[in-house]
Amino acid sequence: MQSTRKVALITGSATGIGRSTAIQLADRGYDIVVNYSKSRDDAEQTAIEVRTKGVEALVIAANVADESAIKAMFAQTIAHFGGLNVLVNNSGTTHFIDHTDLDSVTDDVWNDILSVNVKGLFSCCRAAMPHLKSRKGNIVNVASVAGLAGSGSSIPYAASKGAVITLTKSLARAFAPEVRVNAVAPGPVQTRWLADHQDMVQKAMAHTPMERPSTPDDIAEAIVFLADVSTLMTGQVMVVDGGRTM
């Protein structure tokens, strides 16, 4: 049965920022497409939590590095819900490589990171755009302060997030006024990504006025603001890092 209500697709929404965003948008009446690549059980748990908000959740497995999988995901979304209002590009990957260790930055590392963080994100935007245009929807991309400061887990990761910021601005210019495109740029977020890298978190906190890392809910609040509260913002990058980069 097709829904006439608002619909949001969130890539990488099995856990962390994606899950928090799915739940917060569900609180605002959105039906949710929960996307995952590997964590099926976690994705199903996200869907269960979404449904407790009185909305519908559709779980779809798709690796955003695979364009055919992306096309199939959007086709399934439109067939099921009849439209799309919000795309949140949250999927991402990295390699933890010291910035001075240039020899470890191999072609495989570049390809792995760029295929998800940049090419995959762009492919999702391309697949979503005609559906977003028809509903005057919007896109929120999850970038990083690494893309602003050249910091982060590795040089390729920082470069990929810099590309996401530029891509956000390019799409915002190209598709206004029908579709708004914005980004959030988190600092360190306490997710399982950083569970084994608490030394990096503590080092960052030494230069963070708010003296704590972000939670997934902190970043989701910013995403929801851009997606469902603001109506004039486009091409903007909202930094959520406790004041570290001000």
Which letter does DSSP use for residue 2 in this model? -
Q: Does this model's pTM top 0.85?
A: yes
Lowest mean per-residue pLDDT among 2-6, 15-19, 147-151, 163-167 = 2-6
d(CA 91, CA 96): 17
d(CA 47, CA 90): 16
10 Å CB burial of residue 79 (0-12, 13-18, 19+) is exposed
Beta-carbon count within 10 A of 101 CB: 10
The yes-or-no verdict on residue 194 having pLDDT over 70 is no
The yes-or-no verdict on residue 209 having pLDDT over 90 is no
1 pLDDT band, cuts 50/70/90, is very low
So which residues are the catalytic ones?
157
Query: Which residues, 6 or more positions from 90, have their beta carbon under 8 angstroms from its beta carbon?
Result: 10, 11, 12, 13, 17, 18, 21, 142
How much is the pLDDT for 197? 60
How much is the pLDDT for 207? 82
Beta-carbon count within 10 A of 212 CB: 12
* Sheet of 138-142, strands arranged across: 57-61, 31-36, 7-10, 86-89, 138-142, 180-186, 237-240
Name all domains of the chain by residue range, CATH numbers in brackets. Answer: 7-240 (3.40.50.720)
How much is the pLDDT for 18? 97
Q: Region 55-76: what's the mean pLDDT?
A: 98
Backbone phi and psi for residue 183, each to the nearest 5 degrees, phi listed first: -140, 155
d(CA 85, CA 55): 15
Amino acid found at 136: K
Q: Region 84-96: what's the mean pLDDT?
A: 97
Question: Which element (helix H / strand E) includes 117?
Answer: none
The yes-or-no verdict on residue 205 having pLDDT over 80 is no
